[in-house]
Structure 1
Amino acid sequence: MFDTAGQSRMQRSHGEAAVAFDGARLTGLRQKGSGKALLPRVRGVPEVVFLNTSGGLTSGDTLSYAVTLEGGARAVTTTQAAERAYRANAGPARVTVHHKVGPGGSLDWLPQETILFEAANLARETVIELAPDASCLLLEAVVLGRAAMGETVETLQFSDHRTILRAGKPVFFEPFALNSNILARGPRAAILGPARAFATLVLCAPGAEDAVAAARAALAEAGVEGAASGFDGKCVVRLLARDGWPLRRQILKLMDALRRGAAPPRVWQL
């Protein structure tokens, strides 16, 4: 009974959660495995809080989140806590995010940060499909290890593809890769420099380029380097920080600026 010559396959975590709205009416809710969707009672724009009950991701795990908005629906979507990618010795964990926003709709996709631990292997793809007059705010934030615990990340495989489509045509496409070979080059300015936390926010809406001034004015958090640019219905903000805590504070300031003072999701409040 102790013969390990033919080692058994480790049990893996698989989760799916999907939510749909038509106007202010909830029309769909699907939950499977470790993927859950919580709908907190809030006034005004509905909130959807996604949750991975497995507690983290490693080799072979899969996770899928989806939101569909029709009938001019608006929604704010986030995650209950930071997603964690742990040591992976047998291939990547895979995360898929696929949101659809119909005519007149608006979606804020504001997940909390992803923490990548030593030897993590994570492949993630995010796609947001917009109708011609729909809008979205996309956030992705990543932290390499926990600075307060003295952790450093030297071995890593991370692939992160983000795409926003308007009427079926790409208006924002960003393939991002970070791996052990890149980290081994040291703190080069062309990579991350000394930063170990970074984020991208993309506002995609008619006239979004006009939000650049407000975004730049909000870049005031000590310990965070940031820049904002706008063009062709987009406002894009990039952030770098040595630790996740100042990055989080800066993101909240940008949420306030780009969402015109709307309160952040409850799980984001400091």
Structure 2
Amino acid sequence: MTAQHLPITRCWQASLALEFALRGDTTRIVGNSHFGPLRVLKPFYPEPTCCHTYLIHPPGGLVLGDELQIEAKVQSGAHALITTPSAGKVYGVDNATEKQQQMVKLAVAEQACLEWLPQETIVFGGANTLLQTQAHLNGDSAKLALWDIVCFGRPANDLTFDTGQCIQSIHIYRNGIPLLIERNVVDGGSALQKGHWGLDGANSMGTFVLTVTTVREQREQWISKLQQRFNGRWGITQKGELCIVRYLGDSACECRLGFEFLWHGLRAELNGKAAVSPRIWAT
């Protein structure tokens, strides 16, 4: 094979593995290994016992062949909140055959709590991306709050998602038993995007999952509050031990603000503590 016929592969792989443990009355980062441009600069403590952690990805987005692998383990009794300082981006590539991938694996031990609350992911037209999130809860008292927000295209700049593909999956297990298995495949310009039975023309969708138990009256009250304060369509269901919140609309920002509003209202039921928003959300 001559040089001009060799396949050209561009990729920027990065990985980050974090481990949190209780030291005295405070959760500390006891394991922090990284490869490539993905890391944590420092932990923050706006609340006494919970470790707030910001994931930093200097390139600011994924292009052809890029792969991010993120792992977080929370030991027994510890409490960690992980977020990002800005939206993640997946850029489009014409006629892409390789995928841009982000794989997140979370593990929460008995009597521990993890809140995985990243800002939204913007998927540009022409992207070919795989977004995977797995959470493994161990024992009967591991607690989880997890949201995933995806914006297709960049509506503010009239950039639509009319080509490409986005595969998004969320898997949550307790003691190896599935609590939620979800997989969405969105093709740019497809009937799923436009049909009433799919995204109905909306450019943003979000899923928020908490290990709390709600009753029907409570869910109806929260839906009413969300509809009064935020645009878009909202839904809340109870699936076993999981409270699952859905958003469909035209603003990833509205989605995140609505999720944050609900998180403030339900966090005491999650782990007995009042919510303290990460400072980075206000910048």
Judge same fold: TM > 0.5, yes or no. yes
How does 1:110-129 map onto structure 2 within 5 Å?
Answer: 110-129=117-136
Kept in 1, the 8 Å contact 2:124–2:161? The answer is yes
How does 1:65-76 map onto structure 2 within 5 Å?
Answer: 65-76=70-81
Give the 3 Å change call, closer, same or farther, for CA 109–215 of structure 1 in structure 2: farther
Q: Distance between the aligned counterparts of 2:231 and 2:250, measured in 1? A: 7
Identical amino acids, percent of aligned pairs = 26
The DSSP-based 3-state class of the residue aligned with 1:31 is: strand
2:104 to 82, 86, 97: 97
* Residue deviations 1:208-255 (CA, integer Å, cap 9, x gap): 235635643541334211010113211001001112232232222122
The DSSP-based 3-state class of the residue aligned with 1:111 is: coil
How does 1:95-244 map onto structure 2 within 5 Å?
Answer: 95-131=102-138, 132-180=140-188, 183-184=190-191, 187-205=194-212, 208-210=213-215, 212=219, 215-219=222-226, 220-244=228-252
What's the CA shift for 1:120? 0.7
The DSSP-based 3-state class of the residue aligned with 1:201 is: strand
The DSSP-based 3-state class of the residue aligned with 2:207 is: strand
2:28 to 25, 28, 31: 25
TM-score normalised by the chain length of structure 1: 0.90
- Give the equivalent residue in structure 2 for 1:263: 276
Question: How many matched pairs?
Answer: 265
Kept in 2, the 8 Å contact 1:17–1:50? The answer is no
Give the 3 Å change call, closer, same or farther, for CA 204–186 of structure 1 in structure 2: closer
- Give the equivalent residue in structure 2 for 1:40: 43
Give RMSD over aligned pairs.
Answer: 2.1
- The yes-or-no answer on 1:5 pairing with 2:8 is no
How does 1:73-88 map onto structure 2 within 5 Å?
Answer: 73-88=78-93
The DSSP-based 3-state class of the residue aligned with 2:259 is: helix
Give the 3 Å change call, closer, same or farther, for CA 213–76 of structure 1 in structure 2: farther
What's the CA shift for 1:173? 1.0
The DSSP-based 3-state class of the residue aligned with 1:40 is: strand
The DSSP-based 3-state class of the residue aligned with 1:212 is: helix
Structure 1 stretch displaced more, 171-180 or 105-114: 171-180
What's the CA shift for 1:187? 2.3
Query: Gaps (5+ residues) in structure 1?
Result: none
